Chains A and B, each alone.
Chain A
Amino acid sequence: EPEVTQTPSHQVTQMGQEVILRCVPISNHLYFYWYRQILGQKVEFLVSFYNNEISEKSEIFDDQFSVERPDGSNFTLKIRSTKLEDSAMYFCASSDLAGGQTQYFGPGTRLLVL
């Protein structure tokens, strides 16, 4: 069964460093999403992406964040200068329909900023 994959599964970085989280969405999906979940907190929407551009973004998705689809398979989230409060689980998701009637989530990348 097709699935969303994410790498790395865990990432430890120093405050101020740049990180790139990678996702491979399901191959025939066209809509891609990033979410984050701080430990013990709600899942929070960050950004959605379609046709090589951002469709929607939340207030969390400020200038330190960017997304890119560098090739036909990968979808990346870059955090330019990490802060302690960026420590969270980051989930990528993809769907084949706008609005994501069913969004398939990847297993997540646990980011720890020291």
Chain B
Amino acid sequence: QKEVEQNSGPLSVPEGAIASLNCTYSDRGSQSFFWYRQYSGKSPELIMSIYSNGDKEDGRFTAQLNKASQYVSLLIRDSQPSDSATYLCASREGGGSYIPTFGRGTSLIVHP
């Protein structure tokens, strides 16, 4: 059974701080990893994808992948109240299967 685990939170950070969101996955065959943002009652929106070990930066977001530890993280710098949402981590195998496995998500609250 493939699992993606996330702390449900809520993670509360002050405006301007760095928010750190973490995710672990069980399937060593996973090759692609994604972070989605989901506002309450809305659909998921892809914010980052990462495929190789190390860091990938996009604006205020940095995704980090450590395949040996089966660990993915998302850092949000200069957090804004508008970043308050649930962040979903997802993994996907390669090898022709494109079925993603989602975690339950971590609720982030950025307070002014």
Contact = CB atoms under 8 A, between A and B. Distances in A.
Nearest to A107: B43
Contacts of A44: 102
Interface residues of B, number: 19
Contacts of A105: 43-45
A87 interface: no
A103 interface: yes
Contacts of A102: 46, 49
Interface residues of A, number: 20
Interface stretch (A11-19, A69-77, A78-86, A93-101): A93-101
B68 interface: no
B42 interface: yes
Contact of A56 (B43, B46, B90, B98): B98
A91 B98 contact: no
B42 A107 contact: yes
A55 B100 CA distance: 14
Contact of B98 (A41, A42, A99): A99
Contacts of B45: 105
B44 A99 contact: no
A43 B98 contact: no
SS class, residues of chain A in contact with chain B: loop
Interface in B23-67: 32, 42-46, 49
Contact of B43 (A58, A91, A98): A91
A65 interface: no
Contact of A42 (B42, B92, B102): B102
A25 interface: no
B97 A56 contact: yes
B98 A106 contact: no
A102 B49 CA distance: 9
Nearest to B32: A99
Given A43-B88, A101-B49, A58 B103 contact: no
A108 B98 CA distance: 21
Interface of A: 41-45, 48, 55-56, 58, 91, 98-103, 105-108
